[in-house]
Amino acid sequence: MKILLKGGRVVDPAASRDTVCDVLIDGAVVEQVGSGLRTDGAAVVEVPPGCVVCPGFIDMHVHLREPGQEHKETIATGTTAAVAGGFTSVACMPNTQPVNDQAGTTELILARAEAAGQARVYPIGAVSRESKGKQLADFAELRAAGCVAVSDDGQPVADALLMRRALEYASSFDMLLIDHCEDPALRGGVAHEGYQASALGLRGLPGVAEELIVERDVTLAGLVGAPVHIAHISVRGALRAVRSGKERNIPVTCEVTPHHFILTDEMLKNYDTNAKMNPPLREAADRDAMLQGLADGSVDAIATDHAPHHYDEKAVEFDRAPFGITGLETAVALSLDRLVQHDVVSLSRLVELCSTNPARILGVAGGSLEVGSPADLTVLAPDARTIVDVKTMRSKAKNTPFDGWELHGGVAATIVSGRVLYVNDAVTGAEVFASIGESIPGESAK
């Protein structure tokens, strides 16, 4: 099916494009981008005023929980939440049960994703067998099965020699290594080590635990000349290490989550377990450093670290609750509200952070609307009013600290492989997508 998106503002940093023009989709690929394109029998969609057409957003850090923890999330519910949040693709971490450290698990994930038919899924394999940090997994097998990167996320690669060997091994297959940076000797806390943790009687997790491992990883990446990606960076010292690596032309990249560039550890005052995550919410100076990194280019990507948990798991004492919050359905609206509306970054820079750079870093298709690119598009509504409401979320999990927040900005529609999978009926004019859309529950195409 051909679809002509007509007269919208098209923002595509990869093509240095930020202008009003048309985008013609032919099946699963972009056929033309330009002004006054002929319809040629295509279904014509007049892009609603104020909406912005972008290459599909890619979340390079999510937890889909399947296989093994389907009570928290499934691949179907997670990818449905993704398209509702404006993401056309997600990269899923390997800390499933069993751990994704061999081809069979990777193939199962891809099969379930294809059956779901929602966002694209890029599996990330484990660095070590069962993510125990003792013996490297078979990267060749994981790559052949479809993994785009390796990580022991949730666990740092603690042994420096294993990390070096992993970097060397991964680079031989053009695979990215993503590390959860946290010195195991300094682990054990449940909140950022500082005033708030002390006042609340919570065990502290110091920022230096992250900084030390980031410094080590940057140094090792420089030694072997292999790329390393720092997951969910949260402290200013760690960002300083990344900047230093970039200045020395070391192939290091990093991501930051919305909760780390918006919230601080003051959110812990009521012992709300929906504010418990790892890395923990830091102090204001760290939050402000993340905003500066987004603005000056030191941070390469925005990722959600979508970590769904069952309600009962979070409804316990703070010390006992698991780390993590959901993020797929809130990240884009939060970023529009706190970054674009407050002039921290431009809209073009936001697209770079959420689409162009993740595609480049992971080495996957997308991140651009160039001719021949996948017909994956995110249509933004920067002036829409969005109210976060857990009751309408597609994710199985509702563990978010943003419930009830009113935000300036949202998603109008999400198109994956030429299929309109999500339409936000609450956005004025967005119903124009509905006639060519596919039905999913809630505010979507009918």
Active site residues: 305
CB atoms within 10 A of CB 251: 18
Q: How far apart are CA 129 and CA 120, in angstroms?
A: 26
Contact 208, 238 (CB under 8 A): no
Q: Name the token pair of 169.
A: 């091994």
CB atoms within 10 A of CB 419: 21
Name which of 16, 106, 7 is nearest 368 in CA terms: 16
Q: How far apart are CA 332 and CA 291, in angstroms?
A: 15
Name which of 87, 104, 78, 55 is nearest 335 in CA terms: 87
Which residues lie below 8 Å from residue 184, measured CB to CB, with a gap of 6+?
Answer: 156, 158
**Strand 120-125 with 301-302, pairing:** unpaired
Whose tokens are 């100076």? That residue is 285
Contact 420, 438 (CB under 8 A): yes
Beta-ladder partners of 124: 149
Q: How far apart are CA 408 and CA 97, in angstroms?
A: 38
Beta-ladder partners of 34: 22
Name which of 305, 444, 336, 327 is nearest 395 in CA terms: 327
Contact 326, 87 (CB under 8 A): no
